[in-house]
Homo-oligomer: A and B are copies of this chain.
Amino acid sequence: MVIALDAMGGDHAPEMVVRGAHIALKRFPKVHFQLFGDEGRIRPLLAKYKRLSGRASVHHTDEAVSGDAKPSQALRAGRRSSMRLAIDAVADGKADCIVSAGNTGALMAMAKFVFKTVPGIDRPAIASYFPTRRGESVMLDLGANVECDADNLVQFALLGDVFARTVLGLQQPVVGLLNVGSEELKGNDAVREAAARLRDTFSPLSFYGFVEGDDIAAGTVDVVVTDGFTGNVALKTAEGTVKLCVDFFRSAFRYSFLGRVGYLFARGALAKLRERLDPRRYNGAVFLGLQGIAVKSHGGADALGFANAIAVAVDMKANGFLDKIHDELARLHAHVASAEKPHSAAV
């Protein structure tokens, strides 16, 4: 398996990209990396890791997409950027997937332009998975589409369902639509119409109905579907709240003598807890609905976080994600067609 890496994307690039590849290589010793970026900066870093050097090629370019570049601008002017060349490598069949910690909007615009969307999907979505009280769930869209209509939401439900089947390994994922209440009349037109179509008895999805914000962490459903504005806010709100809890937790132990004694005994358990809540474990947002595998790492990720983003890409490729997306969508379309419900044609 060959993984194309945008070596220049992210706050701590290219250092953390190279170190992230080094960490990922321990877990996936048979992968090969293509590093796109400034050779003069990448080579010295690579020299530190002998094994990685043997499994990585460097593809020089002077250009990189800046963090504040507009997507349209990056698309137009960034044809020789490290990000674009890495994407092109996948499109040309020279690599299997691409991972970048760079500008999200630019990455989405380029990936969409180069890979194209899957037939039947109007707009790709950004998805990520995260820990819940019942295991792991996936949420989409996380910011690719600020405004969404019912068609988009229904398509996101299908994409999320397939992602949960193929990457989280669930047999029959339960899909919920994020709303401000569970009653049918709640919410805006888009969520109400999308829910009506997903509730359709002919829909092959296991649709739970509306879920609310507190259902996300509760793990009420396996797939949380929402527009990109709400999803982005919800995901970041959850991340911020975890930080708040960890802060409060730490100060609870620090500010009393018995608390400090208790900490000494419990530190093994607490280290495990920290690991469980470590956002780096869940680094790696996926672009769903494209005919190519692109994974976006947090811009501020460190090497361990970036290695996890690489792992997401490897899992997707190893599990034949794209083929399954195609198969599942074909199956779903056939199902809808056989039901001969004209108003469900968009499903």
Chain A residues close to B by CB (< 8 Å):
68, 70, 131-133, 143, 146-147, 178, 180-181, 183, 185, 187-188, 212-218, 226, 228-230, 232-249, 252-253, 255-256, 258-259, 261-270, 272-273, 276-277
Contacts and interface: CB of A to CB of B under 8 A. Distances in A.
A70 B185 contact: yes
A217 B262 CA distance: 27
A57 B180 CA distance: 36
Contacts of A178: 233
A248 B261 CA distance: 21
Contacts of A258: 265-266, 268-269
Nearest to A146: B188
Q: Find the residue from A230, A237, A259 having the highest chain B CB count within 10 A.
A: A237
Q: Find the residue from A239, A259, A262 having the highest chain B CB count within 10 A.
A: A262
A239 B252 contact: no
How many copies the complex holds: the figure is 2
Given A233-B233, A233-B234, 11 more contacts: A212-B236, A213-B232, A213-B236, A234-B234, A245-B249, A252-B269, A253-B266, A258-B265, A258-B266, A261-B266, A265-B265
Q: Is the interface of A mostly helix, strand, loop or mixed?
A: helix
B270 A252 contact: yes
Contacts of A68: 183
B215 A240 contact: yes
Contacts of A242: 241, 245
Given A259-B266, A262-B264, A273-B248, A180 B146 contact: yes
A178 B146 CA distance: 13
A140 to B, nearest CB: 14
Contacts of A232: 180, 212-213
29 contacts: A131-B244, A143-B180, A146-B180, A146-B187, A180-B229, A187-B229, A212-B232, A213-B233, A213-B234, A214-B236, A214-B243, A217-B237, A218-B240, A230-B233, A234-B234, A245-B245, A245-B277, A248-B276, A255-B269, A256-B269, A258-B265, A258-B269, A259-B265, A259-B268, A259-B269, A262-B262, A262-B263, A262-B267, A265-B265
Given A180-B143, A237-B214, A237-B238, A133 B244 contact: yes
